[in-house]
Structure 1
Amino acid sequence: MALGKRTVGALPTGVAAAALLGAPAFAHVEVEADKAQAGATNVTLTFHGEAESQSAGIVSERVVLPQGIAPTDVTLVKAPRGWTFTSSADGFTIAGPALKVGQDAEFAVKVTQLPTDATTLSFKTVETYSDGKVSRWIDLPEQGQPEPESPAPTINLKPAAASAGITSTSAPGAAASPVTSAATPATSAAAVPAAGTTGSGGSSVAWWIALAVAVIAGAGGLLLWRQRSGNQAQ
């Protein structure tokens, strides 16, 4: 019974310790993509910055873009009331009046196109509160390793669609090629009668030449006949 009491008594302490240790894990900045696929276009990224301060509200979210996405390719979709979007050399910042204490910061941006060869995209985010506190969610996850203490918002991407590479040489392009090829023989075939027409003119000339040769041959034969007749007469 004494052991049981110690066990029961230790349970709340263990739960409390676990809760304290696990508390930071709940204060993440997370990101989701409506099209989580490499090479996808016009992708909406929705960020969710969880409030972790018990005394101040969030006033800004600064995001560093991963390689392959330029700041000029990002536009604002939605943000907390009164917040504005500003591009920077390596990303963007969304900031405005302090949110209520405990209120999460939610915002969304649209990206023109995701990198075609990426498997994951991490968006380092710096979260600032009205009391000056700064939370840096910038640690990059490593494969096979536990989640870092302050992980950067990350999305996993499916491989780029194979059809994207096939489209340029797929049915439409392939169909165009046979048509063009078929047209070439047709043009050549059409050219043959034209050549034949020219040839018929050549045949007419040949006919006249043959006729002239025949006339000349006939004249020569007549001359020879006359010569023979003269000799016989002598």
Structure 2
Amino acid sequence: MKRSSVLPAARRFAVAAVVAGAVALGTAAPAFAHNEVHASDARALATDVTLTFGAEAESKTAGITSLRVVLPPGITPADVSLAKAPKDWTYTPAADGFTVGGTALAVGTDAEYAIKVRQLPDASLLVFKTLQTYSDGRIDRWIDPPKGTEGADDHADAAAKPAPTLTLGKAAPGATPIPATPTAAPSSAAPATSAAPAPSAAASSAPAPVPTTTVTPGAAQSTDKDDDSSLALPATLGAIAVLLVLGGGFWWWRRRNAGADPRT
């Protein structure tokens, strides 16, 4: 009788130990499985949502230094801000996403950070492709589409490096897209200026033009007449002088001959 009562008790203890062990193993799983993302409000068109990312450290010799994330369609870098990051890590926006990084974390330490999104898009699944860099230069590319989505290999049990994905529920009643965050566009108009343009080097080094004088036809004719008259006056005076000399010589010769005796 005593023995029969002990055996059922031993069996119950063994079953309880197995169950407890299974629970312990389940709860001892790592905080992050590879690279994951969770949302404070996982609904389409939800506003002011905090997305928390976790990246598991898989290197045994180097620490995580940065995480480069490509945002899914419907979320722009202008609508994202950093909410939490490891100590001394910074947030740098890019054209298609952002990077968080800084001092290398201790070897084996998972990287956790959070961003705040102005509004989630009207979608059912968001994929955040991520490049995880370590202090020794190693890069883990968590960019493969999850199984069952477009571009995934349906024949594989799981993607080799699945990107962090977020499943969204239906939008709340009355939820609508809000206007996109305005960005400053560069002006295409040239600034107005009243100052005259500076002369070019070629223009400043060119020789100065020779000044020209415009002469009217009347002035040219007057000048020619003055020149002719100035030349004609000396010629006239010379002719008169010659005539006077000749006339005086003829008068002197005739007077001499008239006063002389013809008989001599």
TM-score tier, shorter chain, comes to: 0.5 to 0.7
CA distance in 1: counterparts of 2:158 and 2:75, whole angstroms: 24
Moved over 6 A (4+): none
- Aligned mate of 1:147, from 115, 134, 158: 158
Aligned to 2:173: 162
- Aligned mate of 2:94, from 63, 70, 88: 88
SS in 1 for 2:78: helix
Q: Which has the higher contact order (CA 8 A, sep 6+)?
A: 1
Aligned to 2:227: none
CA distance in 2: counterparts of 1:84 and 1:64, whole angstroms: 17
- Aligned mate of 1:103, from 105, 109, 113: 109
> Scaled by the length of structure 2, what TM-score is found?
0.51
Q: CA RMSD in A?
A: 1.4
CA drift at 1:64: 0.4
CA distance in 2: counterparts of 1:126 and 1:68, whole angstroms: 20
Is there any run of 5+ residues in structure 2 with no aligned partner, and where? 1-31, 177-264
Is the 1:27–1:52 Cα contact (8 Å) retained in structure 2?
Answer: no
List per-residue Cα deviations over 1:112-156 (Å, max 9, x = no partner): 00012x000010000000000000000012427343110000010
Aligned to 2:56: 50
Code of the aligned partner of 1:123: F
Greater percentage in helix: 1
- Aligned mate of 1:126, from 125, 131, 142: 131
CA drift at 1:35: 0.4
- Aligned mate of 1:63, from 50, 59, 69: 69
Percentage of pairs with the same residue: 59
Aligned to 2:216: none
Is the 2:46–2:175 Cα contact (8 Å) retained in structure 1?
Answer: no
CA drift at 1:27: 5.6
CA drift at 1:164: 2.3
CA distance in 1: counterparts of 2:119 and 2:145, whole angstroms: 22
Aligned length: 139
> Scaled by the length of structure 1, what TM-score is found?
0.57
CA drift at 1:161: 1.5
